[in-house]
Amino acid sequence: MVEKRGKKGHSGPMKRIITALVVIVLAVGFASAQEKPDALKLYRNGRDLEAAGRTEDAAAAYRQSIEVCKQDLTDNPKNMDAYTIETWALVRLGKYQDAVDTCAEALKVTNDYRVVETMGEAYFYLRQYKESLKQFERYVDAAPKGERISTAYFFIGEIFRLNREYNHADIAYSTAVYLEPGLSLWWYRLGTVRESVGDKTGAQTAYQRALKLRPDYKDANEGLNRVRT
Q: Of the candidates 128, 163, 192, which is a domain's last residue? A: 128
CB burial of residue 165 (10 Å; 0-12, 13-18, 19+): middle
pLDDT at residue 72 greater than cutoff 60: yes
Distance CA 51, CA 30 (A): 33
Is residue 87 within 8 Å of residue 119, measured between CB atoms? yes
| Helix 113-125 and helix 149-162, axial crossing angle in degrees, nearest 10 | 30
- The answer to the question of residue 115 being in a domain is yes
pLDDT tens, position by position, 28-52 = 555 444 567 899 999 999 999 999 9
CATH code: domain of residue 73: 1.25.40.10
Range of the domain at 119: 36-128
Domain count, the chain: 2
| Helix 129-142 and helix 149-162, axial crossing angle in degrees, nearest 10 | 150
Mean pLDDT of 166-183: 98
Distance CA 141, CA 122 (A): 19
3-state secondary structure of 85: helix
Q: Are residues 154 and 113 in the same domain?
A: no
pLDDT at residue 73 greater than cutoff 80: yes
- The answer to the question of residue 17 being in a domain is no
Q: Are residues 43 and 123 in the same domain?
A: yes
